[in-house]
Amino acid sequence: MHGELDKAYVSVYDSEIITIYNDITKSITSDGTKCAKIVLTIVPTVYHTLTQLRRELHESDGKWNSYNIYDSKESHHSLHRLFFNDNGYDTGLAGKVEHGELNHKSGFTGQNILTKLNDTTHNLFVTNKQSLKASAIAPTSDDIPFEYTGENGVIPSLYDYLKKYFNVCHYTHIKSPRIPCSVYEMLLWVCGLQFSPVFKPLLDHVNELFMVPIDGDPSKKTLKPIDASPSTISASDICTTIEEICFKSYPVLTTIAGHGDAYTTYACEFSTNSLKFKYPTRGEECFQLLLDILRKLFPPLRFLFGQCSNPASEHGWLKCQYGRDITTVNQPCKAHSTDKANGQSTSKPMCQPNGHPNDQPTCQPRSPLMSYLNDTLPGHLPHQLNSVGCKSVCKSCPGSTPGMPCLTPLGFREFSGSIKTGKDICDILGDLFETNNISAVFCLSPKPPSTLPEHFGFALYLVKGWLHSSQSKKATMNKFTLQASFESSITNTSIKLFENADRFTNALANAYGSDSVRHSECQHPHLMNLTITDFCNSNIKRIECAPYLSSLYSDAYHHLANKHSNTYLSWAVYLPWDFWRYLLSLYDAFRNIFCREWGCRRCLHHGACTPGSHGSFETPCHCKSLVTCKGVTPTLYKCGFMFGDAIAINALNTRRTCATFAKHLKSVIQSHYFKTLFEIIDNFMFTIRAPFIWTLLALWSLSLLYLLHIAVVRLDVLRIRSHLRPPSSHRIAAQSLLAAARVKALANVKYFSP
């Protein structure tokens, strides 16, 4: 009996007297305000979960209707496993159970639940079907009849009122608005954007970017999709993507920070602009700010998603805990564990090992995931970002190492609710990054790459899928591809002086690696060798590849619009030297890792893995793999990267060490393909500038000859004597003009007077 009662949940508000309204002051109390915020906070959860349950009961081909809540024989037919367990009911029970806290009668099925949801007594959900004509919605449409199905009822109406409340909150005048400067604040800004008055002008501006003149009547415009690589994008695609990003930012916030409590921010305040952020009034300006914020927001979320996707065996955070009661590295130790290590696994995942077995109290381990969210994880400390926009301001960006990115702080300080693990973050971020065309929004307003990871992402996606332009492949090349547009830009920019545009594209494809799996003609290493698993098989040599690196900034250049090919050409011409220097900075940063400072036990003895030679074969790093070396992940993160595939490079049969990575990175930096690319770019630049160079040389030569001529020949020979008024001017020689003593006497000589 005691064991069963111990499982019962008793609310802390049970038998508690809460005063909501003060009759004396005629005002709502602090507890009353908090109660109102609690009600507003639970409305989205009730609406979305019950709507999902009702939809599944309607649209699952009648299967869910016949399922019981518990089914010990066929757990995949259990509504508890399919729905209720993920929504807080019997969370500790296994899938194959006969009963729990919910109705476990054999006659109670999903159909009974659906009947309750559609019951007209309470009108929780009401479906209205109307016969309308298209002209009623769009006046210019034909009168085509169709059936419109609308959802109404108490719960949908309550959710609609909540959205109106959010809209009203954004009309509050803010005297000194500010720009979000952390991941937490940026998520709040994006979450509230959908309720801001500027949201509709923003979508209107997006539509304007797709407007083109009609061929027959240039005075009129129409929407036209933009040809891009890897796929064509339309205005509706981008508008839908922006709406989904705003919508999905809310569950990201609630998953990480929680829904709030009496001491933290309630989730209903995530969308009300309670932190007084700036939302521009013009759609164009707001769209640019949105892109700037997303460029700062996605990289740390990409890193967080990658780390939470990997288990502890790959030094990932999949089972690492985070939440209100989880300590970070900068917090004092309050509780100690007295459990004896017995070699058996416990029900609670531990984020760090306990060390050697002993029966003495030991400090509880800190969670690296919690420390990262709290900006206290060693080696992953963020920058002091003060402003975001066309000119971001950061006080801690290193000036000595150019090309390193500005790392946005996470900024999560308030945690509420139950303790969760990295898998919860992995699931919710996976849903965010699976949004269709999430990377396509950046190609509408391209920004030149300025850091190493941005260069890395742009280089790979620029040549992705490019073909070597032989005659047979040229005939089959689609003229609407990015490669065709790029070659056309080369021809037009050079005024057809650079005749072989394919030489340029071939050099880019060779240096960056257009398609390594089918790249059978590779003779030297290229950039893609650092990102994929396979070999470049050529007749001369076999070039190894490994998924060492993945750029955290790849979203910004995943989609490249064909109409911006001139812009991409200028980047491809002027930026490869900077890119090469930044790769060299990455190599130097990797070589300067000191394993003893990071606590790598295999490298603690003297003489092994010294700074400046990390990854060398002479004094090799003794860590089992690149993943297990504790200094590599922070170094890559500082440079804007994470492991491309930690499982693959840590697996026994495909394991890569620090020495192999340093060797492969150095081979790419010293590749003959980069040397050839630089030579072709120089040739391209000289070809464009040659006509101007020869023209300027001819003009300056003519001017020089003219000056030399008048310096030694009398001026009357040049037929300008009639323009000189003094009678003796015909006797003036050019040499006399150069004499300082004669300058004052000849002050009245005017050569070009009428």
Q: Has residue 479 got a pLDDT over 90? A: no
Confidence of residue 234 (pLDDT cuts 50, 70, 90): very high
Indicate the range of 54-58, 232-236, 338-342, 369-373 predicted with least confidence. 338-342
Residue 403 CB-density burial (10 A; 0-12 exposed, 13-18 middle, 19+ buried): buried
pLDDT of residue 752: 42
Side-chain half-sphere CA neighbours of 673 within 13 A: 23
Confidence of residue 209 (pLDDT cuts 50, 70, 90): very high
- Angle 176-184-164 from CA coordinates, rounded to 5°: 65
pLDDT of residue 98: 77
Q: Can you tell me the mean pLDDT for 478-485?
A: 80
Match 């004597």 to its residue by tokens. Answer: 721
pLDDT (tens digit, 9 = 90+) per residue, 30-44? Answer: 889 999 999 999 999
pTM of the model: 0.85
Report the DSSP pairing between strands 393-394 and 535-537: unpaired
Q: Can you tell me the mean pLDDT for 231-247?
A: 94
Q: What are phi and psi of 194, to 5 degrees?
A: -65, -20
How far is it, in rounded angstroms, from Cα 536 to Cα 538? 6
Per the CB < 8 A criterion, the answer to whether 498 and 688 are in contact is yes
pLDDT (tens digit, 9 = 90+) per residue, 110-161? Answer: 888 888 888 888 888 887 766 665 555 554 445 666 565 667 889 999 999 9
Task: Kindly state the tokens that stand for 29.
Answer: 């109390």
Per the CB < 8 A criterion, the answer to whether 627 and 643 are in contact is yes
Strand partners, 131: 147
Whether the upstream peptide bond of residue 332 has omega within 30° of 0, thus cis, is no
In single-letter form, the type of residue at position 391 comes to: K
In single-letter form, the type of residue at position 682 comes to: D
pLDDT (tens digit, 9 = 90+) per residue, 169-208? Answer: 999 999 899 999 899 999 999 999 999 999 999 999 999 9
pLDDT of residue 135: 53
**Element (DSSP H or E) covering residue 330:** none
Q: Has residue 742 got a pLDDT over 80? A: no
Is 501 or 360 the better-scoring residue by pLDDT? 501
Nearest in space to 297 (alpha carbons), one of 414, 410, 397, 452: 410
Angle, helices 199-208/283-309, rounded to nearest 10 degrees: 90
Indicate the range of 312-326, 397-411, 413-427, 549-563 predicted with least confidence. 397-411
Q: Can you tell me the mean pLDDT for 204-231?
A: 89
Is 53 or 355 the better-scoring residue by pLDDT? 53
Is 299 or 616 the better-scoring residue by pLDDT? 299
Q: Has residue 240 got a pLDDT over 80? A: yes
Indicate the range of 51-55, 277-281, 287-291 predicted with least confidence. 51-55
Q: Has residue 547 got a pLDDT over 50? A: yes
Is 371 or 538 the better-scoring residue by pLDDT? 371
In single-letter form, the type of residue at position 294 comes to: L
